Chains A and B, each alone.
Chain A
């Protein structure tokens, strides 16, 4: 590792351990400086290959720097910075260390040029993400964290298995375009691992299960890294995989359907992560330059606006202690800044012109149009309407307006507002000056988002969605329910099958017990008896003999040695005198 290559992720992972030794202002300064310096390092990186390490005959690349990894690294580092500012007031070193490590691992996975280092960083991300859930320190969060861990260990094993198969096929661990291996077990296993991390249904229920249980500040990091690292890996390896087009489009609608039913504010937003990642997965599947650019651009803007939305919901959670929409209402009177900043995020995710989602989401939808995929185009447009319906209308309506329930929660601490303000500024900046983002995309961009048709079409879509919302408002009243998702299978389905499993297990246990009895009684116990006899006859006799001999010897010695120190001293002095006498007179 030369000076020209300092891994930005390593700065975060190692630097995080300084925090527990600092206090007060110095700690807060380092909390901001670490991600800021990681961001600067990312911005200064030139495309190339760095940090090549030879390990057990394999070449591990820790620094594959190209346009694709760079654009993701910018937004990961930026989000780490915003997240740390948002968490400045939190007095919990564990959360800060874990969050910084999580960000560092995301950067590590982004710059990884081979499967092994990608795997290692993915596992670090899994562990740190689980810790961010556990650190809320409630029984619900511990349970959700365990479920998250189990699912991701499964995903990690898929990646590991796929990686080993890939290595045995090719003799290399280099992670690149996987299309030459389409249909092979390695291709499918690795794809499965990435799809699980991207929360693609039916593998995605872990996301709305775990994220709402995380700490208010930790959830901000969670929204960004795991799913978007998976999107990055999909862009890198699986561009043009047809099944992803349909899967992504279905995913975009799936999240929207669940969001209608959802009552927990952060779980509603979590379902919209799934919906938005659907656009990216679909873009990867389409595989054209415009579509892949769109997937990368949408990941970039999504990270920023989704973090902003989670910051808004987290601020409400922290200040009011409430998480359910059915308990909220009327908060606009006391939290106007939070409302305004939340709305910037809501407009951005809804792709309102002049906000970031408009310039990124439209790339994917236009790519579907250019490929003449009418059904996909219509499904993605429908999901856009659903996004505005929930994130832009339903959630703010019930959280900040709606029935005034007499809540008088105040604005959150200044650092939270500053972080939200910076994220909001980024959303607007990208929306107003899309070239800021377009110039960093993997392929040259020849796409103009602000055409007269596109602007009025979008406004028409959103305006009439709002009309539909107000017409059907009564139906949308949040209800205190949970909705079944695929997590049912391991939360209830498995427990329902437990008696069955138990019966099988009991049978297995008695079988194993019988084998145990036979082996133990016939062979092991008999062998033990023989050994005991050997021990009693030979070893004990030897020990007794040696002991007796030692005793006899020591008795003899005791009669010859008196043990009085003064006699020994006298004899030594006599000896020394004799030696001196011999030296002086003996010549």
Chain B
């Protein structure tokens, strides 16, 4: 897939892609805050959903919490060397 290769291995294009990614995220968060008001969307089931860009914030928080908590659990308790069950 030369298209991907071209974009991933060229630092200039990669930087441009990152910029697109960040602006896409900004657009998403913005539209999440605006779209329900513009389209008179159905009322949310919970009041917290009406917080502007709720799902975006929750997505980011979820991701960070999942990674950090899992890694912590792993380090403190769950992770063992690969040959743990063979030894």
Within 8 A of A (CB), among B1-57: 1, 4-5, 8, 21, 24-25, 28-29, 31-32, 35-36, 38-39, 41-42, 44-46, 48-49, 53-57
- Interface pair B25/A467, CB less than 8 Å apart: yes
Q: Which of A101-109, A214-222, A313-321, A468-476 contacts B (4 or more CB under 8 A)?
A: A468-476
Distance between B31 CB and nearest chain A CB, rounded to angstroms:
5
| Cβ–Cβ < 8 Å partners of B5 in chain A | 332-333
Q: Tell me which of A56-64, A237-245, A452-460 binds B.
A: A452-460
Cβ–Cβ contact B66 & A382, under 8 A: yes
By beta carbon, the residue of chain B nearest A340 is B1
Contact (Cβ within 8 A) B56 A464? yes
* Least distance between A460 CB and chain B CB atoms (Å): 4
Tell which of A90-98, A254-262, A513-521, A559-567 binds the partner.
Answer: A254-262
Provide the A253-291 mask, 1 if CB < 8 A to any CB of B, else 0.
Answer: 000111011000000000000000000000000000000
B41 contacts which chain A residues (CB < 8 A)?
Answer: 451-453
With A370-B45, A483-B74, A483-B78 already in contact, the answer to whether A260 and B67 are too (CB < 8 A) is yes
Whether A483 contacts B45 in the complex (CB less than 8 A), given A461-B55, A464-B59, A468-B59, comes out as no
Instruction: Please indicate the chain A residues that have their CB under 8 angstroms from the CB of B80 in the complex.
Output: 481-484
- On whether the beta carbons of A463 and B74 are closer than 8 Å, the reply is no
Whether the Cβ atoms of B1 and A484 lie closer than 8 Å is no
Q: Across the interface, name the chain B residue whose C-beta is closest to A333.
A: B5
A452 contacts B39, C-beta separation under 8 Å: yes
Given the known interface contacts A257-B69, A257-B73, A333-B5, the answer about A463 and B24 at a Cβ–Cβ threshold of 8 Å is yes
Among candidates B28, B44, B56, B63, residue contacting A389 with C-beta atoms closer than 8 Å: B63
Does A491 count as interface, using CB distance less than 8 angstroms? Answer: yes
B67 touches A460 (CB 8 A): no
Bound form: Cα–Cα A401–B14 in Å: 14
Q: A333-B1, A464-B60, A464-B63 are in contact. Are A457 and B55 (CB under 8 A)?
A: yes
Interface size class, chain A = 35 or more
CB-CB under 8 A from A479, the residues of chain B are 79
B60 touches A468 (CB 8 A): yes
- B84 partner residues in chain A, CB cutoff 8 A: 482, 492
Per a CB cutoff under 8 Å, which of B28, B53, B59, B78 touches A261? Answer: B78
Residues in B with CB closer than 8 Å to A491 are 85
Give chain A nearest CB distance to B14 CB in angstroms: 12
Which positions 358-402 of chain A face chain B at CB distance < 8 Å? 366, 369-370, 372, 374, 377-378, 381-382, 385-386, 389, 401
Tell me if A465 counts as interface (CB < 8 A to partner B).
yes
Which B residues touch A193, using CB under 8 A?
none
Q: Among B45, B56, B82, B85, which residue has its beta carbon within 8 angstroms of that of A461? A: B56
Q: How far is the CB of A500 from chain B (nearest CB, A)?
A: 20
Inter-chain contact B53/A460, CB cutoff 8 Å:
yes
Measured CB to CB, the nearest residue on chain B to A458 is B55
> Do the beta carbons of A377 and B45 come within 8 Å of each other?
yes
A475 to B74, CA, bound (A): 12
For B29, give its contact among A464, A480, A482 (CB under 8 Å).
Answer: A464
A336 interface hit (Cβ, 8 Å): yes
Measured between alpha carbons, how far is A158 from B36 in the docked complex, in Å? Answer: 50
**Chain A: which residue is nearest B84 at the CB level?**
A482
Contacts of B39 in A (CB 8 A): 452-453
Residues of B within 8 A of A378 (CB): 58
Determine which of B35, B53, B60, B71 lies in contact with A260 in the assembled complex, contact meaning CB atoms within 8 Å. Answer: B71
* Bound-state Cα–Cα, A459 to B29, Å: 9
Q: Which residues of A contact B4 (CB under 8 A)?
A: 332, 336
Q: Which residue on B lies nearest to A457, using beta carbons? A: B55
Bound together, the chains give a CA A492 to CA B85 distance in angstroms of 7
**Is the Cβ of A484 less than 8 Å from the Cβ of B77?**
yes
Across the interface, which residues of A come within 8 angstroms of B55, CB to CB? 381, 456-458, 460-461, 464
17 pairs, CB–CB < 8 Å, chain A vs chain B: A260-B71, A261-B74, A372-B46, A377-B46, A381-B58, A385-B66, A386-B62, A451-B41, A460-B29, A461-B58, A463-B28, A464-B63, A465-B62, A468-B67, A472-B63, A480-B82, A481-B74
Please give 10 more A-B residue pairs, beta carbons under 8 A apart, in addition to A385-B58, A459-B28, A469-B63: A261-B73, A336-B1, A382-B58, A385-B59, A453-B41, A457-B55, A459-B32, A461-B56, A464-B29, A465-B63
Residues of A bordering B, CB below 8 Å: 256-258, 260-261, 332-333, 336, 339, 366, 369-370, 372, 374, 377-378, 381-382, 385-386, 389, 401, 451-453, 456-469, 471-472, 475-476, 479-485, 491-492
Chain B residues near A (Cβ < 8 Å): 1, 4-5, 8, 21, 24-25, 28-29, 31-32, 35-36, 38-39, 41-42, 44-46, 48-49, 53-60, 62-71, 73-74, 77-82, 84-85
